[in-house]
Each structure stands twice: as structure tokens, then as C-alpha cells.
């Protein structure tokens, strides 16, 4: 799943997005509410909040160590689609 804002895009692997624990962790970690957990527990990306991203890496940290290290990507559209590492 991928959603694009004007400056930032977020891409989450479909398998990772279906993981309720990861969805909860991402939702709790993001200070600008880019992530939400749907009623079925799966991850949702809140498109209207994408450009509020402060590049804090908290979502990447939340995905790390749980087998989802490369499943969550923050893409800087204003920087030639550079991926936040």
C-alpha cells in the first residue's frame, strides 16, 4: 500500500499492513497521525496527514526488530524519491 502527499509518500508492504501488532505500533509511534488502525486491525495510511511528516524515523524504529525492517518506507518526493534511512 502506498499513499502520496505533495512532499512525502509512505509505502507499507501489504503483509506488514495486515499485521495488527505492527499497525498498533505505527499508530502509537507517529506524532503526526499518519498511521491509523482500521476496525479489522489492519493498518491504514491517513493521506491528509502525510505532508505533516517531520522525518523523525519513529515509524521505522517501530517496524524494526519485528521482521518488518524493510516493509515501511518514508519517501521524500521533493528529493528525487529518496527513501528515509
Positive or negative, the CA dihedral 81, 64, 50, 21 is positive
| Integer Cα distance of 62 and 3 in angstroms | 19
Say if residue 21's pLDDT is above 80: yes
The pLDDT, as a whole number, for residue 73 is: 95
User: CATH assignment of 2-83?
Assistant: 3.30.70.20
Say if residue 11's pLDDT is above 70: yes
Positive or negative, the CA dihedral 78, 82, 83, 85 is negative
Average pLDDT, the chain: 93
8 A C-beta contact, residue 26 and residue 59: yes
The pLDDT, as a whole number, for residue 70 is: 85
Burial of 17 (0-12, 13-18, 19+ CB in 10 A): buried
The pLDDT, as a whole number, for residue 55 is: 97
The pLDDT, as a whole number, for residue 60 is: 94
Mean pLDDT of 10-21: 94
8 A C-beta contact, residue 49 and residue 34: yes
Amino acid at each position: 500500500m502506498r499513499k502520496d502527499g505533495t512532499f512525502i509518500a509512505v509505502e507499507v508492504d501489504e503483509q506488514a499492513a495486515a499485521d495488527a501488532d505492527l499497525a498498533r505500533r505505527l499508530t502509537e509511534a507517529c506524532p503526526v497521525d499518519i498511521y491509523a488502525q482500521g476496525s479489522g486491525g489492519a493498518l491504514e495510511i491517513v493521506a491528509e496527514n502525510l505532508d505533516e511528516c517531520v522525518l523523525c524515523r519513529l515509524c521505522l524504529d517501530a517496524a524494526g526488530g519485528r521482521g518488518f525492517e524493510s516493509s515501511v518506507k518514508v519517501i521524500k518526493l521533493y528529493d528525487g524519491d529518496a527513501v528515509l534511512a
